[in-house]
Amino acid sequence: MNDNTKKTITSRRSFMKGTALAVPAFMIVPRHVLGRGYTPPSDKLNLAAIGSGGKGWSDINNAFNEGKENVVALCDIDTKSAERATKKWDKAKFYKDFRVMFEKMGKQIDAVTISTPDHVHAIAAMAAMQEGIHVYVQKPLTHNIREARMLTEAARKYKVVTQMGNQGASNPGQVQMQEWYNKGLIGNVHTVYTWTNRPVWPQGIPVPTDKTARPDHISESDWDLYIGPAEMVDFHPLYHLFKWRGWWNFGTGALGDMGCHIIDPPFRVLGLGYPTEVECSVGQIFTQDWTPSYIPEGCPPSSQVQIKFPASAKNKSEVTMIWSDGGIRPFHPSLIPAEEPLSGTGSDNGVIMMGEKGIMTCGVYGLEPIVYLNSGEKITMPKDYATDNPNEKLPEYGHQVSWTQACKAGFGSKEHQRLTSSFDYSGPLTETVLMGNLAIRSYQTSSRKDDRGRLEFDGRKKLLWDGKTMRITNYENANEFVGRKYRKGWDLV
């Protein structure tokens, strides 16, 4: 942002940031006269959305909070996908290119939700933050580790209020787990199991080679915007909508989809930091007998990842975390009775933290937390368990509304500090999740064959990580996956 721009982003936005809680001099009618729940227009944020269909619809709708904020701009490359939003906020300006939206309306927009496929998160969030606009960015925060570090630093630099869209972070279950852990119920934790039933979309399949015409409502330039920083490929329904998750060019696979929800409770409760080691094992793909397919462009159909963490200020033990996806679950610990589910209803996704004095489990989003003590006692969360989150009963535990309230209260405010997933927290969490992907991509890579023509895989090893400098120290080639190559004109700076 140049200095002139900085100076002009003042008036209503400085009101929203610095002095939002002060009563403006021009407000003559006392608020209580206007009725309960009424928010004067001057107290409302001007919101925008980048990615207005799919999850983007509920992100902007939850932030809008039944009219407590204004929606002034919507951005999507796909008019059909965005239709529900453009119909609801028909006065909002509609853009296909977020760069044009910021150029034209940057000064009027206070805060933006970003709910595009993963490969666009960082570039859109950075553009917003450089305009001084607060950001809510879907999980995983970014497509790669370097981007997560850059966004974390940028949020501090530009003094904007941030939240990642791992809504389970605002779930009371997580508060309960922290309370149980802080009381010392399970003691120090040495092993954590995390798992998911993802991928639930085609993944581990050959790269599509058939030509599929773009739908009429998506023009060539819309597709160019969709590709954004990624490598150009022709339109295919396996890339847009939803199924982009299974391709490294756009998505981050099963780990990227669910890791920020599932690894969140142990990462938070145990106060974990940068990992030190990562290793993985990846499901093979066979389209002909005995010859495994080599498809490094696609995320694998299943994987298991082991990540090691040093002891933290909260947890005085090193931690080994085992992640599995593709529906592979951990085995039943002896403390959980055989007839009980592993992690509550369904157990499709879950967490088990193994401690010295017992174990703590929960499902996805920190739902249904349970403690099983070595003594045989089982402790569940009281039905009326209350937290100090005033927005707990709102959709997604008020994760978006807590963010809009913090945007109004300003950077560094009490409301900002109380956010459960601002980038100070969610940046390192995302780096940890994407560490697993770095190992998977290293495992998938082969640059040569042995003398019988079989692929050789040098990257199939335990990788050692230096979190501070963001480097794999024992296998140079893996460092390629710390960041990514950006398409010309789409560099992240």
Ligand X SMILES: NC(=O)c1ccc[n+]([C@@H]2O[C@H](COP(=O)([O-])OP(=O)(O)OC[C@H]3O[C@@H](n4cnc5c(N)ncnc54)[C@H](O)[C@@H]3O)[C@@H](O)[C@H]2O)c1
Q: Cβ closer to ligand X: 13 or 139?
A: 139
372 or 397: whose CB is closer to ligand X? 397
Tokens of 488: 């010309």
Which of 228, 229, 253, 259 binds ligand X (CB under 6 A)? It is 228
Q: Pattern of binders to ligand X over 88-107, x per CB under 6 A?
A: ----------x---------
402 is a site residue for ligand X (CB under 6 A) = no
- Strand 455-456 to 303-309 pairing: unpaired
> Which of 47, 155, 225, 367 contacts ligand X by CB under 6 A?
225
CB distance 266 to 272 below 8 Å: yes
Q: Would you call the peptide bond into 140 cis, given omega within 30 degrees of 0 as the criterion?
A: yes
CB of 7 to ligand X, least distance (A): 29
Among 48, 62, 89, 165, indicate the residue that binds ligand X (CB under 6 A).
Answer: 165
Q: Measured from the CB of residue 260, what is the shortest distance to ligand X in angstroms? A: 8
Contact between 54 and ligand X by CB under 6 A: the answer reads: yes
Element (H, E) at 279: strand 277-282
Among 77, 150, 154, 472, contact with ligand X (rule: CB under 6 A): 77
Which residue, 142, 146, 117, is CA-closest to 50?
A: 117
Residues 432-471 that bind ligand X (CB under 6 A): none
Least gap, CB of 166 to ligand X (angstroms): 6
Site string for ligand X, 132-151 (x = CB under 6 A): ------xx------------
Sole window of 14-22, 28-36, 54-62, 426-434 interacting with ligand X (rule: CB under 6 A): 54-62
351 vs 371, beta carbon nearer ligand X = 351
Q: How far apart are CA 449 and CA 90, in angstroms?
A: 58
Which is closer to ligand X, CB of 207 or CB of 241?
A: 241
Q: Least CB distance from residue 395 to ligand X, whole Å?
A: 11
In angstroms, the first-to-last Cα distance of the chain is: 12
Query: By C-beta, is 116 or 306 nearer to ligand X?
Result: 116
Is 55 among the residues that bind ligand X (CB under 6 A)?
A: yes
CB of residue 277 to ligand X, shortest distance in Å: 26
Rounded distance, CA 199 to CA 206, Å? 15
399 binds ligand X (CB under 6 A): no
Q: In what order do the strands lie in the sheet with 303-309?
A: 378-380, 370-373, 358-362, 350-355, 189-195, 319-324, 303-309, 277-282, 463-466, 471-472
Q: Measured from the CB of residue 121, what is the shortest distance to ligand X in angstroms?
A: 6
Q: Collect all residues with Cβ–Cβ distance below 8 Å to 460 and sequence separation of at least 6.
A: 442, 443
Alpha carbon dihedral 427, 433, 434, 436, in 10-degree steps, equals 150
Calculate the CA dihedral of residues 19, 25, 27, 30 and round it to 10 degrees. Answer: 90
Can residue 85 be called a binding residue for ligand X (CB under 6 A)? no
Half-sphere CA count of 355, side-chain side, radius 13 A: 27
Interface residues for ligand X in 309-328 (CB under 6 A)? none
DSSP symbols for 120-165: HHHHHHHHHHHTT-EEEEPSSS-SSHHHHHHHHHHHHHTT--EEES
- Tell me which residue of 260, 248, 272 sits closest to 323, measured CA to CA: 260
Instruction: State the pairing for strand pair 70-75/93-95.
Output: parallel
Question: Which of 51, 326, 428, 459 is in the footprint of ligand X by CB under 6 A?
Answer: 51
Figure out which of the listed residues 70, 81, 170, 174 binds ligand X, where binding follows CB under 6 A: 81
Binding of ligand X by 116 (CB under 6 A): yes
**Using the rule CB under 6 A, is 487 a contact of ligand X?**
no
Identify which of 418, 258, 420 has the alpha carbon closest to the alpha carbon of residue 343.
258
Q: Which residues bind ligand X (CB under 6 A)?
A: 50-51, 53-56, 75-78, 81-82, 98, 115-118, 120, 138-139, 165, 167, 225-226, 228, 241-242, 257
